[in-house]
Amino acid sequence: MSDETAAIDAIAMEIFSNRLLSITEEMGNHLVRSSFSPNIKERRDCSVALFDARGRLVAQAAHIPIHLGSLLGAVEAVLKTYPIDTLRPGDAFVCNDAYLAGGTHLPDISIVTPVFAEGRVRFFTACLGHHADVGGAVPGSISPSAASIFEEGIRIPATRIATAGQLEEGILRLISENTREPEDRTLDLKVQIAVNESGARAVEALIRRMGIAGAERAVDDLLAYTTRRLQNRITRLRPGRYGFTSWMDDDGMGGPRVPIVAAVTVRGDRLHLDMTGTGPQSRGGFNVMPSGVLATVGYAVKALLDPGLLPNNGLFAAIDLTVPEGTILNPRFPGAVGARTTTCQKLAGAIFGAFQAILPESEAMASSHDVLAGMVFSGRAKRRQGTYVYLETVGGGIGARGDGDGMDGAHVHITNSLNMPVEAVENEYPLRVEEYALVPDSGGAGRYRGGLAIAREVRILEDGTTFSGRADSFVTRAEGAMGGLGGANCRVIRNHGTNRAEIMDPKQRLLQLAAGETIRMETPGAGGFGPPQDRAIAALARDLEDGKVSAARAAPDYGPDLLAAALGLKATRP
Amino acid sequence: MYRVGVDVGGTFTDFTLLDERQGTVLFHKSPSTADDPSAAIERGLDEIATRHGVDLGRIVHLGHGTTVATNLVIEGRGEPVGLITTRGFRDVLEIGRQTRPDLYDYRVRRPPPLARRAHRLEVTERMAADGTVLVPLDAVEVAAAARALAGFGLKSVAILFLHAYRNPAHERRARDIVAGIMEGAFITLSSDVLPEFREYERASTTALNAYVGPRMRAYLDRFVARVRGLGVKGEPYTIHSNGGLMSIATAGAVPVRTCLSGPAAGVVGAAAIAAAAGFPDVVTFDVGGTSTDVSLVKDGKPLFTGDRLVAGYPVRTPMIDVHVIGAGGGSIARIDDAGGLKVGPESAGAEPGPVAYGRGGRSVTLTDANLVLGRLNGVALLDGRMPVDRDAAARALDEQVARPLGITLERAAQGILAIAVSNIARAIRSVSTERGHDLAGFALFACGGAGPLHAAEVALEVGCPRILVPQAPGTLCARGILLSDLNFDFVRTLIATADPASWANVVQHFHDMRTEAEAWLGRERVPADRRRFRCFIEARYRGQNFEVPVELPAIAAEGLAGFLAAFAARHHQEYGYAIAGRAVEIVNGRIQAIGAVPKAPLEANHQGGPSLGAARVAERPVWFGESWHETEVYSRARLPVGEPIPGPAIVEEMSSTTWLPPGQAARVDGFGNIVIDLKESGAP
């Protein structure tokens, strides 16, 4: 290849990449605009992507990192189940299953649609929505204590849901009627099919414009470019093997702590991530499928080494993975997988931890809250017949970095969803929120302080209300880095501030509550970075004035001298 | 009598003066004065008076587009804020919606809260969601909080209580107590600024108002004093984020409503100019030095949004939906370590600027590529006022892009242009598909210094079949101000299932809002025959968390069925389906009060020059496709009306350059706009 050709390709590749991203962004906009359920439409718990005919990810719109795993698995399952020369224009395929179709948990339903040019399949458009309920033992279909995947809702292997442009109404009804909200499922699945269709039209137009040879060449260039760019980051790292273990309190069903191990080997321009030593398969729903591990690794590597890296298959070409079977990160059939997010958070935390020794100090990060803290209330609906189910996910502390304090009260790693406004909750449900606040002293002390946790306290207004909690780190906690201290634990307090106050494990299943009782969840705080005695006096003074750190806690954490110096600073005035 | 529009930009302050009797329009530019923008206004008006013999005493209307509030936020120069709020909720302002600003990049942190935690104080009080009092306001605690905030030296206070949108009694009582203790303090109530549910967005908007309030009010006082000092007797107005005018008094009370007013007037102007020229649906495309503003105009009306960020802080006020794209003439082209060619988002801005400007810029920019390809005048820009060094641009481009890639200078420059076009096109497509619009029905309205230079390629890439280049594309905001009406939005959160029982309540609320709206128009001294009202109900299907605005001619007692039908139609239009039989929830009621301002009609009386030949000022080679093309260069003012202009051609004017590629043709219409009907080219 002459230099001239190579260069022209650099320009063509960038333009092609923009055009591909334009198509995925349009698909994403279409999905968010047209979907019905708040989970997809307002919380944007959905993703879209383009794959080539070999099942390689070519482009993904920036939505939810974990979905990358399910989408990769879905296209692979379609290619394995249906010989590619049997596909026809207007076909569409549906799947969600973790064991049969590469999914990560059942509520994430994927639709995959082939794109044709010159009579052959050239690409696939794919999209995924987190559907609020897919049946199973509990509303919402996610239960940490599910004993097997059969309790988690309808299992869909790769299945043709449209044939040559004709919707398979029977398949659609079969799926929808196996969930608690058939009307919502039907509306959103139809939208997903339409999104892929219009995406396919746009890809066809792009191929017509640049020719199939040009398009395929640009795909190869784009993936190679992504790999080369990541390899350039890897070669600058210190070679060696670095391990980190993060811990889960238990496997969701009680019992001992579960280690999540990530050993990262940097060799030349490649990374090897080895999860050997990770604890055994969960007896409940905390298992992560290999596709979920892959997506979590992709997220972590991108976040740690090059946040601007395009999510495509080139990202994975420089990474090797070892994930032993029978562990919580690679369960055997029919292990339940619904509550996989907290495990993914712990895995991301372990990878971030291993990189503390790999990255320059300014970019290294102490552990974050590393759970997905969920509160689920259910009871009689306020303004209509039937029951309501209200799910709130609550953020926590983000780890301090070598260049500054951690963020207070935010989502971390693979989640970043919005809260439900207090005023919306109180208009909608027979509940009153009594407090929504940062938790003082919950961030680990350090030269840079770990981010503070969030407390959310809810009063029950009607008898017969139930509460279920999902989280972890009641026992374990976010570690500090380079001498920084750890963050506060996660806990639930029933009837906080009364003489019947009760501190509880955040994992709760269908706790029965009477009117007037309160449930308070305090999520975990994050770890600090560097020795506390290195903290700037002004920074500690500011934390004291802002009530983010108490003097009582600062004395042991930072030492009496630093505390006295900080109290002496009058930094309150703006 | 004269009507004047003034738009304060970063570099220049633009003036548009309409002589009502003659129907003529005069454009004027004066360098901006960053410390006190009203100084440039004073000087500019003075220049207009002396140079054009205008009697400033005969100015009956003066509209002022201001970015003072925006800049206070961006530069962090606002007044520190104290917050008084419901017990248990002082951290709402800091937690926000608990998201982090970048999914992957932990270097990106949230902006600091406008009131730091020590200055956020809680008091005992509580309203229920229906506005009933659960816990009465503790006046002693409010007084203690006010004394504490005064002790911190604070001069601006935001008050936000939960559910105050439903019942503002506690907020008002707290205001009276605070006003009695903190003399002269600027006090903002959430129920005044934004009486809508969702506490974080309301808190952020309220805090921003408190943050910019005192300094904005001081600025407006200076502005009024200066124009009065020049003898201007007419009422001065400011433009706000929804493109409407409001009086200085209103702007001083709710300055947050001016936070995104910068480009809003330009869109109002674009909508009016395009509609007059027969293009009701346009995408405005304003390319400046560091960024590009894009907005959609449908049926002659700009599209609105309620959610935007100013320097990372959410503002929820009605505003024209303008999207800012990080691409402009100063965007830097560079080859990254993996061999990719990137253009932007890094920008050389105005300082040091492109290499060719000779102000110390070392990195190749989009402007340098345009110069190398002959699209921009290689000798000087701005009517010869700004010399450029094309050779320096070529040397830098050769060194930084062409040689590393092993290609010719022209191909490298062309590549930079093509990549910039694909970046901009991607953003425009995203903006339009987010709102569900197909650009095949839209014209591209190219303005700003560099919009008309890239319009042809961008229009082809996004699929707009036509381009409109207005006269003086660099002064559109100042012109838009002369085409704006007074307006103000009144809103109430209602939250009720749409049924006969709740409808009476909805009607009552609209009646109350109408009374408020009339009172406001009275204070703005709008005569009865110039008052207009637009009514909107924001509603959703049960189970949804987002609302669709439904405009209705009126909200009458027997109007429920009509509303439900209109809602279904609107939902179908917006999202592609309606759901028969599903309950509908009414969330907000909104009235926009409008005071129509007399405007000069846009008339097709543009004269132009006698012939194309007479408009020709030069010829120069321009690179396009694979070769150089000898290209005619025309002077915009001398172009004849109606005569086809064959491409390739360049049209130059003071603040802008229009590029017409080979194979395309343009013409000047009766309003003086350049119109290009694109033929689909074989562009790759």
Which of B176, B196, B216 terminates a domain? The answer is B216
Q: What is the pLDDT of residues A12-65, one digit of tens each?
A: 999 999 999 999 999 998 898 888 887 888 778 899 999 999 999 999 986 788
Give chain B positions within 8 Å (CB) of A8.
407, 411, 415
Q: Do A422 and B89 touch (CB under 8 A)?
A: yes
Arithmetic mean of pLDDT, B8-28? 83
Looking at the DSSP assignment, which residues form a beta bridge with residue B160?
Answer: B85
Contacts of A213 by beta carbon, 8 Å cutoff, 6+ apart: none
| CA B615 remoteness from chain centre | 35
Contacts of A541 by beta carbon, 8 Å cutoff, 6+ apart: A566, A567, A569, A571
Q: Do A574 and B80 touch (CB under 8 A)?
A: yes
Q: Do A398 and B100 touch (CB under 8 A)?
A: yes
The mean pLDDT of chain B is 92
Q: Contact at 8 Å (CB) between A239 and A269? A: no
Residue B432 lies in a domain: no
Q: Contact at 8 Å (CB) between B272 and B602? A: yes
Sign of the torsion formed by the C-alpha atoms of A15, A16, A22 and A24: negative
- Looking at chain B, which residue has its C-alpha nearest residue A7? B405
> How many C-beta neighbours within 10 Å does residue B102 have?
14
List the Cα angle A145/A147/A148 in 5-degree steps: 130
Q: Do B103 and A65 touch (CB under 8 A)?
A: yes
Residue B227 lies in a domain: no
Q: In whole angstroms, what is the distance from residue A375 CA to residue A277 CA?
A: 31
Give the minimum alpha-carbon distance from A426 to chain B in angstroms, rounded to a whole number: 6
Structure-token match 């383009």, residue found? A50
- Looking at chain A, which residue has its C-alpha nearest residue B131? A427
Predicted model pTM: 0.93
Which pLDDT does position A570 carry in this prediction?
59
Task: Detail the DSSP E strand segments found in A202-350.
Answer: 240-248, 258-267, 270-274, 319-322
On the question of a cis peptide bond just before residue B553, with omega within 30 degrees of 0, the verdict is no
Choose the closest CB to A410 out of B100, B116, B543: B100
Q: In whole angstroms, what is the distance from residue A277 CA to residue B205 CA?
A: 50
Give the minimum alpha-carbon distance from A210 to chain B in angstroms, rounded to a whole number: 6
Q: Contact at 8 Å (CB) between A340 and A286? A: yes
List the domain range (segments joined by +) for residue B100: 81-216
pLDDT higher than 90, residue A195 = yes
Give chain A positions within 8 Å (CB) of B417.
none
Choose the closest CB to A548 out of B105, B117, B497: B117
Residue B120 lies in a domain: yes
Ranges of H-type helices in A211-327: 212-235, 290-305
Q: What is the pLDDT of residues B550-607, one digit of tens each?
A: 999 999 999 999 999 999 998 888 777 888 888 999 999 999 999 998 776 778 888 8
Looking at the DSSP assignment, which residues form a beta bridge with residue A246?
Answer: A260
Arithmetic mean of pLDDT, B408-414? 96
Residue B568 lies in a domain: yes
Give chain A positions within 8 Å (CB) of B501.
none
Q: Would you state the structure tokens that stand for residue A349, as one six-digit string?
A: 């935390």
Q: Would you state the structure tokens that stand for residue B49, as one six-digit string?
A: 């008076």
Q: In whole angstroms, what is the distance from residue A24 CA to residue A48 CA?
A: 6
Task: Mutate one of B93, B94, B95 to test the A interface: name it (highest A CB count within 10 A).
Answer: B95
Q: Would you state the structure tokens that stand for residue B225, as one six-digit string?
A: 């004093």
Q: Please count the CA atoms within 13 angstroms of the CA of A469 that sit on its side-chain side.
A: 27
Contacts of B218 by beta carbon, 8 Å cutoff, 6+ apart: none
Q: Do B103 and A8 touch (CB under 8 A)?
A: no
From the list B195, B264, B322, B325, the residue with the least C-alpha distance to B587 is B195
Q: Do A365 and B106 touch (CB under 8 A)?
A: yes
Sign of the torsion formed by the C-alpha atoms of B463, B468, B474 and B479: negative
Which pLDDT does position B10 carry in this prediction?
72
pLDDT higher than 50, residue B628 = yes
Name the residue type at position B86: T
Which pLDDT does position B681 carry in this prediction?
56
Q: Do B154 and A21 touch (CB under 8 A)?
A: no
Residue B612 lies in a domain: no
Choose the closest CB to A30 out of B197, B433, B579: B433
Q: What is the pLDDT of residues B167-225, one digit of tens each?
A: 999 999 999 999 999 999 999 999 999 999 999 999 999 999 999 999 999 999 999 99
Give the max Cα distance, chain B.
82
Q: Would you state the structure tokens that stand for residue B77, as one six-digit string?
A: 């120069």
- Looking at chain A, which residue has its C-alpha nearest residue B424? A18
Contacts of B137 by beta carbon, 8 Å cutoff, 6+ apart: B123, B124, B125, B170, B173, B174
Residue B230 lies in a domain: no
From the list A476, A474, A477, the residue with the least C-alpha distance to A508 is A474
Structure-token match 């017990």, residue found? B87
Arithmetic mean of pLDDT, A483-493? 98
Task: Please report, for chain A, the start and end positions of each structural domain, with discontinuous segments joined by +.
Answer: 3-227, 360-535
Q: Do B98 and A409 touch (CB under 8 A)?
A: yes
Task: Mutate one of B81, B83, B90, B91 to test the A interface: name it (highest A CB count within 10 A).
Answer: B91
For residue B577, the domain's CATH number is 3.30.1490
Arithmetic mean of pLDDT, B636-662? 94
Choose the closest CB to A3 out of B117, B406, B684: B406
At A569, the pLDDT band (50, 70, 90 cuts) reads confident
Q: Contact at 8 Å (CB) between B223 and B80? A: no
Task: Mutate one of A40, A423, A543 to test the B interface: name it (highest B CB count within 10 A).
Answer: A423
Choose the closest CB to A423 out of B103, B199, B418: B199
Give the minimum alpha-carbon distance from A505 to chain B in angstroms, rounded to a whole number: 23
pLDDT higher than 90, residue B65 = no
- Comparing A297-301, A384-388, A480-484, B581-585, the range with the smallest average pLDDT is A384-388
Task: Mutate one of B79, B100, B346 to test the A interface: name it (highest A CB count within 10 A).
Answer: B100
Choose the closest CB to B198 out of A302, A403, A421: A421
At A1, the pLDDT band (50, 70, 90 cuts) reads very low
Structurally, chain B folds into a number of domains equal to 2
Which pLDDT does position B546 carry in this prediction?
78
Q: Would you state the structure tokens that stand for residue B538, as one six-digit string?
A: 């924001």
Q: Do A454 and B576 touch (CB under 8 A)?
A: no
List the Cα angle A328/A331/A336 in 5-degree steps: 90
Burial class (CB in 10 A: 0-12, 13-18, 19+), A54: exposed
Supply the Cα-derived Rg of chain A in whole angstroms. Answer: 25
- Give the alpha-carbon dihedral of B366, B368, B374, B375, to 10 degrees: 30
Q: Contact at 8 Å (CB) between B327 and B292? A: yes
> How many C-beta neighbours within 10 Å does residue B569 have?
12
Task: Mutate one of B77, B81, B98 to test the A interface: name it (highest A CB count within 10 A).
Answer: B98
Choose the closest CB to B430 out of A19, A25, A65: A25
Q: In whole angstroms, what is the distance from residue B496 CA to residue A24 CA?
A: 37
From the list B550, B438, B543, the residue with the least C-alpha distance to A188 is B543
- Looking at chain A, which residue has its C-alpha nearest residue B576? A34
| CA B635 remoteness from chain centre | 30
Give the minimum alpha-carbon distance from A119 to chain B in angstroms, rounded to a whole number: 22
Give chain A positions within 8 Å (CB) of B90.
437
Cα–Cα separations (whole angstroms), residue A498 to A495, A518, B122: 6, 10, 21
What does DSSP assign to residue B440? Answer: G
Choose the closest CB to B100 out of A7, A411, A427: A411
- Looking at chain A, which residue has its C-alpha nearest residue B336? A229
Cα–Cα separations (whole angstroms), residue A94 to A63, A127, A128, A155, A314: 20, 10, 10, 11, 26
Residue B147 lies in a domain: yes
Q: In whole angstroms, what is the distance from residue A302 CA to residue A311 CA?
A: 8
Give the minimum alpha-carbon distance from A198 to chain B in angstroms, rounded to a whole number: 12
Which pLDDT does position A306 carry in this prediction?
96
Choose the closest CB to A424 out of B100, B197, B684: B197
pLDDT higher than 50, residue B682 = no
Task: Mutate one of B433, B435, B584 to test the A interface: name it (highest A CB count within 10 A).
Answer: B433
Give chain A positions within 8 Å (CB) of B576.
34, 191, 194
At B650, the pLDDT band (50, 70, 90 cuts) reads very high
Residue B591 lies in a domain: yes
Cα–Cα separations (whole angstroms), residue A511 to A232, A492, A504, A508, B194: 52, 12, 11, 7, 38
Q: What is the pLDDT of residues B35-60, one digit of tens each?
A: 899 999 999 999 999 999 999 999 99
Choose the closest CB to A307 out of B80, B104, B338: B104
pLDDT higher than 70, residue B657 = yes
- Comparing A5-9, A303-307, B29-33, B474-478, the range with the smallest average pLDDT is A5-9
Arithmetic mean of pLDDT, B224-250? 91
Cα–Cα separations (whole angstroms), residue A323 to A71, A77, A78, A250: 20, 20, 24, 20
Which pLDDT does position B385 carry in this prediction?
75
Choose the closest CB to B422 out of A18, A37, A209: A18
- Comparing A141-155, B269-283, B598-612, the range with the smallest average pLDDT is B598-612
Which pLDDT does position A216 carry in this prediction?
92
Establish, for the pair of chains A and B, how many residue pairs have beta carbons separated by less than 8 Å. Answer: 219
Task: Mutate one of A8, A9, A14 to test the B interface: name it (highest B CB count within 10 A).
Answer: A14
Q: How many residues does chain A have?
A: 574
Q: Would you state the structure tokens that stand for residue B295, as one six-digit string?
A: 């907005």
The mean pLDDT of chain A is 94
Q: Do A14 and B342 touch (CB under 8 A)?
A: yes
